[in-house]
Amino acid sequence: MIRIVVVDDHALVRECLIKALTGMSNVQVVGEAQTGEQAVHLCRDLQPDIALMDIVMPGMGGLEATQRIVRGGGRTAIIALTAHSEAPFPAQMLKAGALGYLSKGVAMHELETAIRRVFAGKRYVCAEVAQELASYAYEDRSQSPFDVLSHREMQIMMMVVGCQKVREISGSLHLSPKTVNSYRYRIFEKLNISSDVELVLLAVKHGMVTLSPQLPQPARAHAPMPPTPPMDHAQSA
């Protein structure tokens, strides 16, 4: 049985994913979370085999959550499932330790293929993301100014444009406010801007964020579900 936690800040997305996953043979959804912090706690407590992880969420977000879950040394493998397939997100998530990366535009059979391959210890990246990674590695990166940011700078940038205050970022990432501000000013310098407002405008311009804040909800663990009768599935290429 493949035990899965679904992590996404949109309730409708979680509900649709959970419904689809429960229709797969030998797959069980054991929990759901809306923030990176909730994901870290659920993976620590439940030790699922796989976490389907969104990237842009309230709190620390999927990038930092992935890194913490992987560094925690548990059994959970991460598959990024996100609307953000453009650089530098895929490279950052794979560097953080994710074994899979899917755009939310993939068909359900491809999601199932990714889950089973990652469960078997392999990597899986959808075609759209693979093409983006190839371009990121071999072509001129000047189109995205955010490529110059480090992993930590990228995480703090996403939290700043998510309207989180320095004190909130400090608490989520366990950094001092002074350190957070140092990162902010370094980000400003690298991107040739001078304020949080300019940072938000730049992030929106390059499709890094969407302006749809959500209120956090408690993480939920799911009661064990009865075994699903085996189903025949067509082999994926």
Question: How would DSSP label each residue in 6-27?
Answer: EE-S-HHHHHHHHHHHTTSTTE
Residue 203 above 90 pLDDT?
no
Say if residues 134 and 112 touch (Cβ distance below 8 Å).
no
The average pLDDT across 22-30 equals 95
For residue 226, whether the previous peptide bond is cis, meaning omega lies within 30 degrees of 0, is: no
DSSP of 210-234, one letter per residue? ----------EEPPPPPPPPP---P
Q: How confident is the model at residue 14 (pLDDT cuts 50, 70, 90)?
A: very high
Quick: pLDDT tens for 167-184.
988 988 889 999 999 999
Spacing of C-alpha 126 from chain mean position: 15
Ranking 81-95, 121-135, 212-226 by mean pLDDT, the lowest is 212-226
Ranking 28-42, 81-95, 187-201 by mean pLDDT, the lowest is 81-95
Say if residues 236 and 110 touch (Cβ distance below 8 Å).
yes
Residue 220 above 90 pLDDT?
no
Residue 86: per-residue pLDDT: 72
Say if residues 124 and 118 touch (Cβ distance below 8 Å).
yes
* Mean pLDDT over the full length of the chain: 84
In the β-sheet with 77-82, what is the strand arrangement from edge to edge?
Answer: 124-125, 100-103, 77-82, 50-53, 2-7, 27-33, 220-221
Domains of the chain, first to last: 2-138+216-221 (3.40.50.2300), 145-205 (1.10.10.10)
* Among 36, 151, 46, 32, CA closest to 88: 151
Residue 139: per-residue pLDDT: 54
Q: How confident is the model at residue 232 (pLDDT cuts 50, 70, 90)?
A: very low
Provide the pairing of β-strand 124-125 with 100-103.
parallel
Residue 17: per-residue pLDDT: 95
Residue 231: per-residue pLDDT: 47
Ranking 41-50, 54-63, 105-114 by mean pLDDT, the lowest is 54-63
The average pLDDT across 42-52 equals 96
Q: How confident is the model at residue 209 (pLDDT cuts 50, 70, 90)?
A: low
The average pLDDT across 58-69 equals 89
